[in-house]
């Protein structure tokens, strides 16, 4: 028993502290279930501590303490084992490029360009019926959709409009060649990171640009619709802007559209500034921002080691999960690549399926990772997803809200992220905990949050 009692007491005390921190996180996230259960857990652990102290010399403790001791030791040992089964297949050689004209946003836009719509449906007659059904639905943020709000809704619309109007391709401007020599890569990258973090990004990655990162043909804008995407830049710089859980926790109501428009604007701002910086160094650079992408951001962010593409088919950042927006700058210059392996996210997606369970349009697969465009990857049924968006008038984000990786980047969630990086057993236990504390099924709001409450959350002292 030497030392066993102290170890058990120490473990119970640490667990109680962790539960209190969980409770504080639950309160901050307005998850009152997590708050109540965590405090109950902390109270039970403290009661266990007092009982252990009170009955320390009772004969029954000669049985209990060794059992608890070995249980806790086993838990710690198992928790620390760094092991995952087979490596994830990341073969990219046979990937077919994605045609941006097939993207749901591009197809939705064809409503305003009937001649392009006809052309597209001659190429894809199987998509005509569903596209025409979608065209009949209100645009996002327009009257007639479920979460329409004349005043607050105009924020998102205006933000997207400003973003679109601010787009000015650098390729249209004469090149600047102010320096006789090429820039120093390290100093340049340092300046890029300063700009990125100063103007709102929370992470930056660099990777080589590969052909499959590019769309095959442009599809979002009428002026270059169907043109082959030409971009021979060598390097892609990826910027990550996290979305605030203060908005995302109200998914799928209008608050999420506000936040995604905000983060699209923020990420575009960073990309434009960095592209301009590179231009001023005499380099050819392109900013890829919402509505004006030549590249697909998610696989670039994954290749840059910033996270992983998850079951919901979007990029999940290592700290902010899927609750992020991305922008990219491509440049004709070699920069030091960033790396990182986040395959543990892949394993977690295999067992979690919370996004699939909660998706109101059943657009997310419950099954194995499918093969399309010549490689194994997650993707969603974009027609079902987007039809739902148009009916409710927002970009939904229930999947993002439900994802355990979307929890705010606070101490307690960082500890859990570190825990699930190690092995599948930890992942199973963490998932059980997430289901218990935060619930398996989300409660979906049927109306917008009271705006004065949202204002209190974003500007508590004003
Ligand atoms: S909710 Fe679960 S399954 Fe879905 S993306 Fe997040 S971790 Fe993966
Ligand atoms: S955004 Fe909504 S509808 Fe689309 S996949 Fe996610 S949960 Fe489903």
pLDDT score recorded for residue 177: 65
How many C-beta neighbours within 10 Å does residue 116 have?
18
Q: Higher-confidence residue: 84 or 40? A: 40
What is the chain's mean pLDDT, rounded?
A: 94
Q: In testing the pocket of ligand 1, which one of 352, 369, 416 has its CB within 8 Å of the most ligand atoms? A: 352
CA distances in angstroms from 2 to 8, 12, 48, 66, 459, listed in the order given: 11, 17, 20, 10, 54
pLDDT score recorded for residue 378: 93
The three-point CA angle 396-399-400 to 5° equals: 90
Helix (H) or strand (E) holding 326: strand 324-331
Residues facing 225 on adjacent strands: none
Ligand 1 site, CB within 6 A: 310-312, 348-349, 352-355, 402-405
Q: What is this structure's pTM?
A: 0.95
Mean pLDDT of 449-454: 97
Mean pLDDT of 25-45: 96
Q: Is the pLDDT of residue 299 over 80?
A: yes
pLDDT score recorded for residue 86: 72
CA distances in angstroms from 12 to 17, 33, 195, 456, listed in the order given: 9, 22, 46, 37
- The alpha helices in 143-285, defined as continuous H runs, are 153-165, 185-198, 245-248, 254-280
Q: Higher-confidence residue: 400 or 282? A: 400
**pLDDT-derived band of residue 88, with 50, 70 and 90 as boundaries?**
low
- Spatial separation of the C-alpha atoms in residues 415 and 21, rounded to whole Å: 11
Measured from the alpha carbon of residue 431, the closest ligand is 1
Q: What is the pLDDT of residues 135-160, one digit of tens each?
A: 999 999 889 999 999 999 999 999 99
- For residue 159, report the phi and psi dihedrals to the nearest 5 degrees: -65, -45
Instruction: Please say whether the beta carbons of 352 and 377 come within 8 A.
Output: no
Question: Which residues have C-beta within 8 Å of that of residue 443, sequence separation ≥ 6?
Answer: none
Which atom of ligand 2 approaches the CA of 364 most closely?
Answer: 5
Mean pLDDT of 334-349: 95
Residue 399 CA, ligand 2 centroid: distance in Å: 5
Instruction: Please say whether the beta carbons of 18 and 416 come within 8 A.
Output: no
């Amino acid at each position: 028993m030497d030392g066993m009692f102290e170890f058990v007491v120490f473990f119970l005390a640490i667990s109680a502290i962790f539960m209190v921190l969980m409770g504080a996180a639950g309160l901050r996230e307005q998850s009152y279930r997590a708050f109540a259960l965590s405090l109950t857990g902390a109270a039970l652990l403290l009661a266990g501590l007092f009982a252990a102290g009170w009955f320390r010399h009772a004969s029954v403790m000669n049985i209990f303490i060794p059992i608890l001791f070995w249980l806790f030791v086993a838990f710690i040992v198992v928790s620390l084992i760094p092991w995952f089964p087979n490596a994830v297949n990341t073969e990219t050689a046979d990937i077919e490029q994605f045609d941006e004209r097939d993207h749901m946003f591009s197809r939705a836009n064809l409503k305003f360009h009937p001649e392009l719509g006809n052309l597209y449906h001659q190429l894809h007659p199987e998509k005509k019926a569903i596209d025409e059904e979608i065209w009949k639905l209100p645009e996002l943020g327009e009257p007639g959709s479920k979460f329409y709000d004349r005043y607050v809704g105009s924020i998102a619309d205006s933000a997207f409009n400003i973003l679109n109007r601010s787009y000015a391709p650098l390729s249209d401007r004469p090149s600047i060649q102010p320096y006789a020599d090429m820039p120093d890569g390290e100093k340049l990258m340092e300046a890029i990171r300063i700009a990125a973090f100063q103007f709102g990004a929370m992470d930056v990655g660099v990777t080589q640009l590969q052909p499959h990162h590019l769309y095959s043909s442009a599809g979002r804008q009428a002026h270059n619709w169907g043109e082959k995407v030409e971009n021979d830049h060598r390097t892609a710089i990826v910027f990550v802007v996290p979305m605030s859980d203060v908005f995302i926790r109200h998914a799928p109501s209008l608050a999420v559209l506000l936040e995604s428009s905000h983060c699209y604007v923020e990420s575009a701002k960073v990309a434009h500034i960095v592209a301009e910086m590179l231009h001023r160094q005499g380099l050819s650079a392109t900013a890829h921002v919402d509505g004006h992408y030549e590249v697909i951001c998610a696989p670039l962010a994954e290749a840059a080691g910033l996270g992983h593409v998850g079951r919901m088919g979007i990029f999940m950042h290592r700290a902010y999960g899927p609750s992020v927006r991305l922008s990219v700058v491509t440049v004709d210059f070699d920069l030091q690549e960033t790396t990182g392996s986040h395959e543990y996210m892949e394993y977690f997606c295999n067992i979690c399926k919370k996004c699939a369970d909660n998706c109101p349009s059943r657009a997310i697969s419950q099954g194995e990772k499918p093969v399309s465009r010549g490689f194994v990857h997650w993707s969603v049924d974009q027609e079902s997803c987007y039809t739902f968006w148009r009916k409710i008038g927002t970009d939904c984000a229930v999947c993002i809200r439900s994802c355990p990786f979307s929890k705010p980047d606070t101490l307690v969630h960082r500890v859990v992220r570190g825990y699930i990086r190690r092995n599948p057993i930890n992942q199973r236990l963490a998932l059980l905990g997430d289901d218990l504390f935060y619930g398996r099924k989300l409660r979906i709001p049927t109306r917008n949050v009271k705006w004065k409450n949202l204002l209190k959350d974003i500007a508590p002292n004003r």
